[in-house]
Structure 1
Amino acid sequence: MVTRKDKSQAMIDKILVTASHLFVQKGYEKTSMQDIAQTAGISKGAIYHHFQSKSDIIFAVLKQRYQLMEDDLTNWLKTTEHLTGKEQLKAIFQFSLESQGAYRNMLDEESFDAEFMLTMMRYNLRIGTPLIADIIKKGMNDSSIQHIQFPDEVAEAILLLTNFWLEGSMFENSTERIADRIYFLQFMLESIGLDIFDETLIKQILHRQIVKKK
């Protein structure tokens, strides 16, 4: 027997799936509540019954995506256990680059307020910090990474710099500035013994930025 609670959850899921697809295709700013309702085949009233605003929907969509990302990262770690810490750390940047394309496409970060960006940072750090820190510690134990005095803080810095400073809309993000940032990040990490940004990865990041601007 389908309960009212089941029907309510099914409607929420339908709204979030529809909104997620539209945010990726059109971007958050260009997607209206009417677009979501029309594509889902429901009324705007049905949406407002569950979500007060479009920003509430994007919060819910991103929360789901972060949960899925956490599951994907956990599974990825199991398949890469045979790698050294340094190899695994290099590989996770490649994995992140490939998995976050659609997630980035849905966001025009200039459209969001400080609370939204802070929430994104907190989700990112909550999921990523222990994972990156553990890989750094693994590398120190297997001698593929030299001793780092503050692995947890290094992990936080890497996440903030790569996910928000490197190519985020909160800062000037011309191709030239991003190139300068990534080479600085490469220099900074190498200075503490983390030579994990090779030229192939740098070229991929710069190529993605060029495609993104077209």
Structure 2
Amino acid sequence: MNKRRYDSETARKEIMKQATFLFSQKGYNQTSVGDISKASGYSKGHIYYHFQNKEKLFVLLAQKTMQEWYEKWVAKETTYTTATEKLYSMANHVLYNYQTPLLKAGQELAANPKSSPESIKQLYDLAIVPMSAYRSILQKGADEGEFKNGNIDEWTVLLGTWLGGLCQLTNTQELKTLEPLFNQAITIFLGSIIKGGNENESRINW
């Protein structure tokens, strides 16, 4: 029984590893279950047994990617003390972790009329993770008197929308050249919520 569990977990990991590579290289539409089977060395039956279908496998991989994004942020967040510092660091984190290997494949799945509404919803729900992280920083700033009293939910939506819009520039520009723009976005945002003092004094070096 123990050996069977070990083999099952090994199969899952190898299938996920090879699927990630194929989705990243070929895209969602051009990657078939047969391709994943050949690359992983496991039969289509194994893939269907563990993941049901290609769609569910991809959603699981996307969720795993977002979890890794969050874990990286949590590890980084502890090195900063103030909410202002955290916001600048978050902007940098978003900039350098937006273009994931699975991003374009996910966009293909979402745009495919054959995709199930459930899978599309699960992909869109992934945005809850970064939005919750933004909200946590803003709430900390408000609770500790660093930021003004305000509507945290509205601030969260505005910050997420602004950073998300800026991320579209990563499709055409080098990430390093975008650092000043992301930094300036936070400076301008802070100008409307910071409580007293000069937000420019709180900038950090990434």
TM-score, normalised to structure 1, is 0.67
Per the TM alignment, residue 46 of structure 1 is displaced from its structure 2 partner at its CA by 2.0
User: Is 1:104 aligned to 2:106, yes or no?
Assistant: no
Match of 2:120 among 113, 117, 120: 117
Letter in 1 for 2:29: E
Structure 1 residues 88-97 or 152-161, which shifts more? 152-161
Verify the 8 A CA contact 2:94 2:163 in the aligned structure 1. no
Counterpart position of 1:133: 135
CA 1:162–1:28: 2 relative to 1, 3 Å:
farther
SS of equivalent residue, structure 2 residue 123: helix
Instruction: Show structure 2 runs of 5+ residues with no match.
Output: 174-180, 200-206
Verify the 8 A CA contact 1:12 1:50 in the aligned structure 2. yes
How many Å separate the matches in 1 of 2:111 and 2:149?
A: 35
Counterpart position of 2:68: 68
Verify the 8 A CA contact 1:130 1:152 in the aligned structure 2. no
Verify the 8 A CA contact 1:15 1:40 in the aligned structure 2. yes
Letter in 1 for 2:133: L
Matched residue count:
180
CA 1:190–1:142: 2 relative to 1, 3 Å:
closer
1:51-90 equivalence runs, <5 A: 51-79=51-79, 81-82=80-81, 84-90=82-88
Verify the 8 A CA contact 2:98 2:167 in the aligned structure 1. no
SS of equivalent residue, structure 1 residue 149: coil
Per the TM alignment, residue 21 of structure 1 is displaced from its structure 2 partner at its CA by 1.2
1:135-150 equivalence runs, <5 A: 135-140=137-142, 141=144, 143=146, 145=147, 147-150=148-151
Per the TM alignment, residue 36 of structure 1 is displaced from its structure 2 partner at its CA by 0.7
Counterpart position of 1:178: none
Verify the 8 A CA contact 1:51 1:57 in the aligned structure 2. yes
Verify the 8 A CA contact 1:18 1:40 in the aligned structure 2. yes
Higher relative contact order (CA 8 A, sep 6+): 2
Q: CA RMSD in A?
A: 3.6
TM-score, normalised to structure 2, is 0.69
Verify the 8 A CA contact 2:95 2:167 in the aligned structure 1. no
How many Å separate the matches in 2 of 1:154 and 1:37?
A: 46
Question: Identity of aligned pairs, percent?
Answer: 22
CA 1:99–1:19: 2 relative to 1, 3 Å:
same
Per the TM alignment, residue 95 of structure 1 is displaced from its structure 2 partner at its CA by 0.9
Give the 4+ runs in structure 1 shifted more than 6 A: none
SS of equivalent residue, structure 1 residue 101: coil
SS of equivalent residue, structure 1 residue 3: helix
Counterpart position of 1:40: 40
